[in-house]
């Protein structure tokens, strides 16, 4: 792009909205949702773990809701929840509501949580995971009109609490890299 020679540049020039840059921005925006969905699909692969789909989805949704809520918007969460319901054999809508509730809670406390240490965030996530698993169980009971066994829900909560540090480690790296890319000229 040729700028007029008589006008000296003031400050940093705005980046050109080229195709690559737009693609880059879109990739950053879409990464949380797609990575979470992919992780859930991987977790649904037949291995001998108790309900790892729920346990894989929860830390991702929580992390992105706290640290990058713009990329983890409610419609994305709605899609992820639908995927969760379809991958597990939960009644339709239960996973959607649970993930939306986690997202809402994380959004509400994100200003407080983002300033805390990792350990505090993890503890908060543990509480959230327990409540979410209980809610998921309750919704399943309500929608199917029979009591499912409680142990799998507890397992899922414990598993997601245990998975959170590993997931958060990787996602924090990705988040840092994205922030770095956004602040770079």
Q: Which residues bind another protein (CB under 8 A)?
A: 41-42, 44-47, 73-75, 77-78, 81-83, 85-87, 91-94, 96-97, 100, 103-104, 107, 143
- Nearer Cβ to another protein (6/19): 19
d(CA 59, CA 68): 13
User: Pseudo-torsion of CA 153, 157, 160, 162, nearest 10°?
Assistant: -130
In terms of DSSP H, where are the helices of 44-117? 52-67, 74-87, 94-108, 110-113
Phi and psi at 135, nearest 5°, equal: -65, -45
- Nearer Cβ to another protein (176/182): 182
- Nearer Cβ to another protein (102/156): 102
Residue 86 Cβ vs another protein, minimum distance, rounded to whole Å: 5
- Nearer Cβ to another protein (24/126): 24
- Nearer Cβ to another protein (59/81): 81
Phi and psi at 176, nearest 5°, equal: -60, -45
d(CA 80, CA 35): 11
Residue 98 Cβ vs another protein, minimum distance, rounded to whole Å: 9
Residue 8 Cβ vs another protein, minimum distance, rounded to whole Å: 30
Residue 180 Cβ vs another protein, minimum distance, rounded to whole Å: 24
Residue 135 Cβ vs another protein, minimum distance, rounded to whole Å: 12
Asked if residue 82 lies in contact with residue 96, where contact means CB atoms within 8 angstroms, the answer is yes
* Structural Rg of the chain based on CA atoms: 20
């Amino acid at each position: 792009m040729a700028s007029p020679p008589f006008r000296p540049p003031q400050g940093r020039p705005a980046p050109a909205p080229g195709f690559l840059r737009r693609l880059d921005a879109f990739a950053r925006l879409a990464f949380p949702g797609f990575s979470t969905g992919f992780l859930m699909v991987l977790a649904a692969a037949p291995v001998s773990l108790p309900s790892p789909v729920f346990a894989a989805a929860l830390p991702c949704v929580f992390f992105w809701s706290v640290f990058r809520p713009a990329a983890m918007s409610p419609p994305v969460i709605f899609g992820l929840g639908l995927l969760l319901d379809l991958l597990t054999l939960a009644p339709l809508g239960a996973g959607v509501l649970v993930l939306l509730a986690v997202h809402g809670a994380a959004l509400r406390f994100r200003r407080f949580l983002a300033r805390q240490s990792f350990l505090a965030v993890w503890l908060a996530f543990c509480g959230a995971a327990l409540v979410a698993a209980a809610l998921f169980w309750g919704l399943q009971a309500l929608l199917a009109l029979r009591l499912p066994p409680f142990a799998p829900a507890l397992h899922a909560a414990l598993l997601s609490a245990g998975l959170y540090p590993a997931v958060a480690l990787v996602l924090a790296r990705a988040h840092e890299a994205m922030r770095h890319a956004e602040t770079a000229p």
